[in-house]
Every structure is written in structure tokens, then in C-alpha cells.
A = this chain, B = another copy of it.
Amino acid sequence: MELLNSTLKNIKPVDESWYAIAQKHLDNLTKPPGSLGRLEEFAGQLVAITENRSPLLDKKVIFTFAGDHGITEEGVSAYPKEVTPQMVFNFIRGGAGINVLARHAGAEIVVVDIGVDYDFGELNGLINTMKVVKGTRNFAKGPAMTGKEAIKCIEVGITIANGYAKKGHKIFGTGDMGIGNTTPSSAIAAVLTGNPVAKVTGKGTGITDESLMRKIRVIENGIKLNKPNPDDAVDVLAKVGGAEIGGIAGLVLGAASNRIPVIIDGFISTAGALIAYCIEPKTRDYMFAAHNSVEVGHTAILAEMGLKPILDLGLRLGEGTGAALAMLMIEAGLKIYKEMATFGEAGVSNEILN
């Protein structure tokens, strides 16, 4: 709780005047003003977040938080829960989607076992000393975690953010792995955005229509049973959330307190970001929304935070895959800002005729 509180004290709003400083430079580059659209916006946001006229993105890292979910007992997922540790091994061996796309984006991957129901031991590329739970409890029968566990999950995320800030990493991406984790994400979306469960619940990795109906009922009943307080995001995280979602929330808080831009992946990551946003709305200024997921609840959460996704490629894999792709676009914006010639340097006329 102490780490969370001290972190919250360190989160400052982004000073709007830096956007104007960045735009002034962008408007002097050899292109019609504004013609690089959102790339210019990304550059402005990076300048404003870092308060640096020439920000660096040389050390990029994506954190994939892994956890298991008691709610899988209710038959809400297309895959058996054994797939969570199997996929962690796949990440470590470099064969998963996130490995391929992080390599493509030139980003490091760090896998965090924050709540997997499996003992990995020491593995290269895995943080295995920060497990908070061995899977959450089934929130159809009682709270998924205690309040203390939920805070501990958030503090794991903060600790990791602080560590990688100290090591000189300049941009973070979030990612998740956890069979069943669209279910707690939909529960969080429903409670914190006020939408009906059915409006924010989708087919996850690919369940049938019948299973979707059951999933919606399970979430509705879980919320009725546990009564998460919509004005207390930590309570929501504890009662109907998940360990990896809490880790992502903490990572976002830690990123903001270190003035590090953080790319929010898809539905599960955005549920984590929403927890962070409800705890401290200023975190929003530090976020980039990677993409528009196929999962229906994603749009509702993005709207709640007022974030516009960068990509729309029909992704629904998670792991941080969307964050890796969006990282390439954000970096493109920064390179435009730093590498393009000005009108003066290039001897190009910037006289506007009409």
C-alpha cells in the first residue's frame, strides 16, 4: 500500500504547453502542416510526456503478465487452463505471436508470472519471484482475490516499471496471458463503465454462442454475488478481476510516475489500464491505445477513457501483440519529428498561395 501511495503522489499531469512546442517544430518540417496526421500527434505526446525536445525510444520493452483464473471452472473459455503455463514456455522459447512481433518492433519481452497455477522455477526471460496467487479464486463463488492480494498485484507492476525505468527503458508496452481472462475483463468493464454485461462480453478465444450466453450469466451472477464497489477500482480488481490485470494496472501507474509512455495492448490490457485510470485519471496522458480489438468490451473501455486506438487490424490475441505493432507507428512519429528536414534546411518553399 505504501508503494502504491508514494507512486500516486509522483504522477503529475502532462503539461499541455509541450504539445505546442512539438507542433511548432513539426510545422517547420518539409510537409504541409498536419499532413502526417496521427504520427504528428504521437510525436507531440512523446515530447509532452518526457518533457524533452528530443526524446529517445532506443530501449523498448513489452511486459507480458501471466495469470490463471478460477472462473475457468465455469466453462467460460475455449481452451483448458493448462494452456497458460504452456504458452509461458512458448514465450520463453520465442515461438509465440508476441515473440515474433516484438522482434519485428525491436522490443525486448519480459514475461511476468504474477498468478499462474504452475511452478516454473528459473527461466531466462521470466520474472518468477513476484507471484501473488496461484490462480485467482472462482468469482462465481466468492471474491477472486483479497484486497491485499489485489494491491500486491498492482505493486508488482509498479516495482517492475520502476526497475525498467531505472535500467533506462524509454517506452513500455503491456501484454497478458491467462486462459479465461476475457471474463474478469468484461466484469471490470461492466462495473467501471456502467454498461450491461452483455454489451461488454465477447467470445474471447472463440467460444460458441451458447457458451457466450453462459459466460454473460456467470459474470452477471458474479457481480451480484461479490458486489464490487464501482467507486473503488481496487475493490473491483480484487472481487472480479485477475492477477495479470492488476499487474498491468500497476505497470501503467508506474509508467506515469516515471514519465514513461505506455502502450496499452487489447481488451485485457485496457481493463488493467482502466483500473489505473480509475485510481488516478492523470495516467491517461501517458497511455497510447494500441488497437481496436475484436472483443466487444474493448470499445466501451476506450470510450470511457477517451482513447483513440492506433490500429484496427481485427486482432484478438493479446500477449502484447497489438502493442508491438503500435510501437512501430509511435516510433515512426518520433522519427518524423527528429529526422525530417525543415523548409530552411531543404531549400523548399513554404509559401502558402491560397
Q: Give CA–CA (A30, B318) in the complex, Å.
A: 12
For residue A19, CB closer than 8 A to chain B, the reply is: no
Would you call A97 and B36 a contact (CB within 8 A)?
yes
For residue A165, CB closer than 8 A to chain B, the reply is: no
Q: Give CA–CA (A16, B321) in the complex, Å.
A: 28
Number of copies: 2
Which A residues, 33 to 54, have Cβ-Cβ distances below 8 Å to chain B? 33-39
For residue A331, CB closer than 8 A to chain B, the reply is: yes
For residue A75, CB closer than 8 A to chain B, the reply is: yes
For residue A123, CB closer than 8 A to chain B, the reply is: no
Taking the nearest CB of chain B, how far is it from the CB of A330, in angstroms?
Answer: 11
Which A residues, 125 to 184, have Cβ-Cβ distances below 8 Å to chain B? none
CB contact under 8 A between A349 and B294, given known A36-B317, A36-B321, A100-B335: no
Residues in B whose Cβ lies below 8 Å from that of A307: none
Contact of A340 among B80, B100, B341 (CB under 8 A): B100
Q: For the complex, count residues of A whose C-beta is within 8 A of B.
A: 66
CB contact under 8 A between A83 and B348, given known A317-B36, A354-B78: yes
Q: Give CA–CA (A32, B347) in the complex, Å.
A: 53
For residue A310, CB closer than 8 A to chain B, the reply is: yes
CB contact under 8 A between A340 and B96, given known A75-B354, A351-B79: yes
For residue A329, CB closer than 8 A to chain B, the reply is: yes
Residues in B whose Cβ lies below 8 Å from that of A101: 332, 335-336
Contact of A208 among B207, B351, B354 (CB under 8 A): B354
Residues of A at under 8 Å CB distance from B? Answer: 29-39, 75, 77-80, 82-83, 86-87, 89-90, 93, 95-97, 99-101, 103-104, 205-208, 210-211, 294, 310-317, 321, 325, 328-329, 331-332, 335-336, 339-341, 345-349, 351-354
